[in-house]
Amino acid sequence: MGLSLVVGCSLLYITLLFLIAWRVDRRADRGASVVNNPYVYALSLAVYCTAWTFFGSVGRAATGGLIFLGVYLGPTLLAPLWYMVLRKMIVISKNLRITSIADFISSRYGKSSTLAVLVTIIAVLGIVPYISIQLRAVIFGINTLTGYSMAGAGAGHTPLWLDAGFYVTVAMALFTVLFATRKLDPNERHEGLVAAIAFESLIKLIAFFAVGIFVTFFLYDGFGDLFQQALQRPDTAVLFSFKSVGVSPLAWNMLMMLSLFAIVLLPRQFHISVVENSTPRHIPTAMWVFPLYLLLINIFVFPVALAGKMLFDASVLPDTYVLNLPLKYGAPWLALVAFIGGFSAATSMIVVETTALSIMFSNHIIVPLLIRANRLEYNKDLVSGISRLLDIRRLSIILMLILAYWYQKIVGSTYDLVSVGLISFTAVAQLAPAVIGGLYWKRATEQGAIAGMFLGFLIWAYCLPLPSIALAGYLPTHFLENGLFGLQFLKPSALFGLTGLDPITHAAFWSLLFNTWVYAIVSVNTRPTTLNLTQADLFVNIHKYNSGQEWDILKREAKIADLRQVLTRFLSESRSAAIFNEFEKANQVSLVNEKTAHADLISFAETNLAGAVGAATARIIIESITKEEPISIDEVMRILEQTKEAVAYSREMEAKNKQLEALTDQLTLANDQLKTLDRMKADFITTVTHELRTPVTSIKALSKIMLDYRSELPPEKADAYLHILVTESERISRLINQVLDLEKLQNAGAEMPKEPLDLRTVLQQAVESMAHLFTAQHVSIKVDLPDEAVLVQGNNDQLVQVAVNLLSNALKFCDPEKGAVEIGLLSASPSAVWWVSDNGPGIAPGARAIIFDKFTQLHSAELGKPKGTGLGLFISKTILNQHGGFIQVDNVKLGHGARFEIRLPLLDTASKPPKREDFY
Amino acid sequence: MTSAGLKVLIVDDEPNIVIALEFLLEREGFAVHKAYNGQQAIAQAQQLVPDIIVLDVMMPGMDGFEVARQIRNNPALEYTKIVFLTAKGTQRDKETGYAHGAEYYLIKPFDNEVFVATILEIMEYG
């Protein structure tokens, strides 16, 4: 098969992935999420199955029999536990905007930056071998298909430009950078990426299935035939049982335990299952779909391995059976499909893994370093915002891949695919005690986590990668045989004299044993800091908390301007403004005139910042602006000087004390009045926002229901909901208009132009503008106007508004069956008297005193509030007061309708206010 | 889901909000009952003994805190969970809510997903 065909198909496939990601991202921008689907979520979890699964499982099965299954049984066994563990992790992460496993662990232990760095280092060093085998799988895939022996894995001395591995690495780096760092999402969600990964999971399953069916049903006559033949040959029959291939129960259990940890702790698994998760509700589906996927992709592993072993001699590597069986037995196109499947497995792993690692690497190592180096001048251009952050991500991705390339070049050939993967599993398992303990054991401390993890990691490094690096000739090999410093019990393959285990089981056993014990013992013997305690409570008892704002009990202060600047720098101008708005709304405060930010605002900003750069880094950034400046001597002198002046001044004041006393009293009085006014204004704003929130709540909830559950809604329900959306929107606009009216009235009311008006025209205008509403609701209206003009001094628009308000109230409260409303006017010198009455239930005597107050609404017991804003009568009363008149509600017996009466001074007697009659 | 057949009482003086909540909870299999003010809420709670009450705070007449207080003082309603869902969002309001024996204190406008997840979470951990 030609090289150009293979490379061409691969490029075509990558283009297809791009298209998928691009379309999904576009739809996500429009608000229609494709990824918010439990099956896509479950499929994306199958990023767990890498090229190692695809090629390596067969290789492993061909030498170790059923042992290959351990890696998949672990996660399958754990799946039922997801409902507790994974869900808790997701809820915590969504609340705290956790961006990676390092962020998660560091957050739990008091936002410890040391831990964040340690986890990042463990993850990067632990995962690099794993990435390297993906590169290797792609390289030998190409080699096998094309038959060329392109210099690749293990060929240590080829020049760079002739090395296929180099080009594969560069292509992968380019692909990942383009794929994962197009934009900076504050919550690290990449919908396009997830969709592409889910698609790749399908492709690799289909490809492997195709090869399996070909081998089982075309090369043999089904499973029965294949197994029968295999049982008759000693070299394949031995694979059918554990005992005969020498798998110890400890090794088997250890393998399951490692994979059980890996399924949540591998950076790519954490990224897909927690960070990219759209809702915890997807978990129940994933709990059965994902194990089913594992079952399907493993069904043909054993048959293919047996067939390969029977049909090929030892010169064909078992890791290449998946490609070589179709290639050598007449189905080269199937071999190409298989290659694309394996390629798919490798690319998805590399993309997600390096993305997750780069988030950790840039958030926890690079950005903190830049900030530390530039602590005092954080506003200079060193870490300037989003594009800079993305550049750092890109560089991190490239760095990961260079490391992986280097690793596969120097030690790549020492182990087979599966063993290298397990080295990474063992490294990542070192995070397990700190994560699991952190979720359920409040007493665990930062020191415990650091000590345990560090020791476990050291043992891992000493037992697994170091020997292979030494064997590859980069280190003296002396310690392999005789132990470190010649101490026999430190032999990396037999620590403390424990022999008889394979290297992985041996290293996993000792590292996890020490890790867990040291973690527990150090935790019990150290005192957690306050922050560590609050975070611990938050993680262990997450169900007590529901939003990420209130748990910080630390007392901190910072300038709001600084805070704003930092947020703008790391997020964006609009995002930072949105954060401040959100805070103002949630706490019903205004920050406009505030200079100092208190603990709650700082914590809120920090949580949001953490979404972009991780908790530990966010804390460092925030700390850099919350530090207090020491007071200089100059400043102290200046304060003293001012005090001295103040003392002198107050003596002078004392001399004039008597004269001033009276004035002071007046001022106090005025001040009190101002304070009262201020308080009233604040109350008013609180009430308005509350009144706005109510319709917004129904609109938000119902429109989201219509968006999410469109398909399950019966049409009449959908119509009813749409109708509610319209009326609630009208309610909002009505409220806004009336609030604006009120504002206008209170600011400029007294200066509104007034002219001589005939009240008959005013009332007629009002009646005409309302006429269609009356007709529509079948309410009769009787207009009773005198023959002569009733002249008053007033503002036409405002008085019409009063009449309209009264009429619409009457319309609203009149008898629902046979509604009747009356409006009338008469001249009773010195006042013009005008009334509006209806035949509704009337107003209870107790309510009559309060209906003219702001936001008073009368309720019916059955259906809650009527539609209205509660401002109409207050506005009317204000307008009339500014016209020298007043409004009152008449003393009609309850049940006989309501009657409102207005008195305004007639024009010729405008200087004398009308006498108020007492109706109560 | 474990919510099938559990009884929920929604208390809010805003009928449109009740409609939305009713849809969301019925979808999860709850048997939904409704009350539009505090007195109704108390009466219905005594009669139904719901598993959970979703309770507004600002209502005409008896407010939600008072309703919660009376429910907590009724030994027959010992296992009824209370969740406040209200536009009153200050820290002090929240504390008052928790002091009145609520499991959760959610702020309006709420997120459908979060609301449902919270209710399910309570029914499970409670």
| CB spacing of A693 vs B13 below 8 angstroms | no
- Please tell me which of the candidates B19, B89, B94 has its beta carbon nearest to residue A724: B19
CA–CA distance, A447 with A591 (Å, rounded to integer): 39
Helix intervals (H) in A362-384: 367-373
Angstrom distance (rounded) from CA A803 to CA A564: 48
* Per-residue model confidence as pLDDT tens digits over A217-236: 888 888 888 888 888 887 77
**What is the per-residue pLDDT for A626?**
67
A716: closest CA of chain B, how far (Å): 14
ipTM of the complex: 0.91
3-class DSSP string for A615-679: HHHHHHHHHHHHCCCCCCHHHHHHHHHHHHHHHHHHHHHHHCHHHHHHHHHHHHHHHHHHHHHHH
Q: Higher model confidence: residue A638 or residue A767?
A: A767
| CA distances for A768 relative to A530, A771, A782, A824, angstroms | 69, 5, 12, 14
Q: What per-residue confidence (pLDDT) applies to A769?
A: 84
Q: What is the pLDDT of residues A844-854, one digit of tens each?
A: 777 776 777 76
What's the CA gap between A150 and A163, in Å, rounded?
7
- Identify the DSSP state of A362: I
Angle at A283 between CA A277 and CA A286, to 5 degrees: 100
Judged by CB atoms closer than 8 Å, whether chains meet at A693 and B14 is answered as: no
DSSP calls for A174-242: HHHHHHH-SS--TT---HHHHHHHHHHHHHHHHHHHHHHHIIIIIISSHHHHHHHHHHHSHHHHGGG-T
pLDDT confidence bin for A391, thresholds 50/70/90:
confident
The secondary structure of A158-179, three-state, reads CCHHHCHHHHHHHHHHHHHHHH
Q: In terms of Cα–Cα distance, which of A808, A800, A735 is closest to A770? A: A808
Q: How many CB atoms lie within 10 A of CB A296?
A: 14
pLDDT tens figures, A885-903:
888 887 666 677 888 989 9
- In 3D space, the residue among A269, A298, A681, A569 whose CA is nearest the CA of residue A435 turns out to be A269
CA–CA dist B67, B41 (Å, integer)? 7
Structure tokens of A80? 């039922």
Q: Chain B within 8 Å of A697 (Cβ-Cβ)?
A: yes
Put simply, the answer to whether B109 touches A696 (Cβ < 8 Å) is yes
Categorize the per-residue pLDDT at A321 as very low, low, confident or very high, splitting at 50, 70 and 90.
confident
Residue with token string 């560590």: A532
Nearest to B112 among A550, A705, A712 (CB): A705
A825, A786 Cβ separation under 8 angstroms: yes
Contacts of A728 in chain B (CB under 8 A): 16
Q: Is the peptide bond before A830 cis (omega within 30 degrees of 0)?
A: yes
Q: By C-alpha distance, which of A461, A493, A118 is closest to A469?
A: A461
Joined together, the tokens standing for residue A551 give 């748990």
Tell me which chain B residues have a C-beta less than 8 angstroms from the C-beta of A36. Answer: none
pLDDT per position as a tens digit, A158-197: 556 566 778 888 888 888 888 777 666 656 677 888 888 8
Q: What is the pLDDT of residues A799-835, one digit of tens each?
A: 888 898 888 888 888 887 888 899 999 888 888 999 9
DSSP three-state, residue A834: strand
**pLDDT tens sequence across A685-728:** 777 777 788 889 999 999 999 998 888 889 999 999 999 999 88
Mean pLDDT lowest for which of A208-212, A469-473, A745-749, B45-49? A745-749
Give yes or no for A588 touching B (CB within 8 A). Answer: yes
Could you give the CA distance from residue A670 to residue A663 in angstroms, rounded to a whole number?
A: 11
Structural domains of chain A, with CATH: 3-431 (1.20.1730.10), 547-626 (no CATH), 634-731 (1.10.287.130), 752-909 (3.30.565.10)
Cross-chain Cβ contact A709/B27 below 8 Å = yes
Tokens 């994306």 -> residue = A44
- B90:A724 CB<8 A: no
Using CA coordinates, name the residue in chain A closest to B121.
A543
Residue A101: name the closest of A77, A121, A130, A71 by CA.
A121
Minimal-distance CA residue of chain A relative to B20: A702
CA distance B91 to A523: 33
Residues of B in CB contact (< 8 Å) with A are: 12-17, 19-21, 23-24, 27, 36-37, 40, 58, 60, 87-91, 94, 104-115, 117-118, 121-122, 125
Q: Which residues of B touch A280 (CB under 8 A)?
A: 117
Tell me which of A33, A694, A850 to substitute to probe the interface with B (most B C-beta atoms closer than 10 Å).
A694
- The burial class, CB within 10 Å (0-12 / 13-18 / 19+), for A497 is exposed
What topology is assigned to B7-125 in CATH?
Rossmann fold (3.40.50)
- Asked if the Cβ–Cβ distance from B13 to A279 is below 8 Å, we say no
The H or E element that residue A899 is part of is: strand A899-905
CA pair distance B60, B42, nearest whole angstrom: 14
User: Is the model's pLDDT at A641 over the cut of 70?
Assistant: no
In this complex, the residue of A543, A550, A705 whose CB is nearest that of residue B20 is: A705
Q: Which of A543, A550, A863 sits opposite B91 (nearest CB)?
A: A550
B109 upstream amide cis, omega within 30 of 0? yes
Give chain A positions within 8 Å (CB) of B41: none
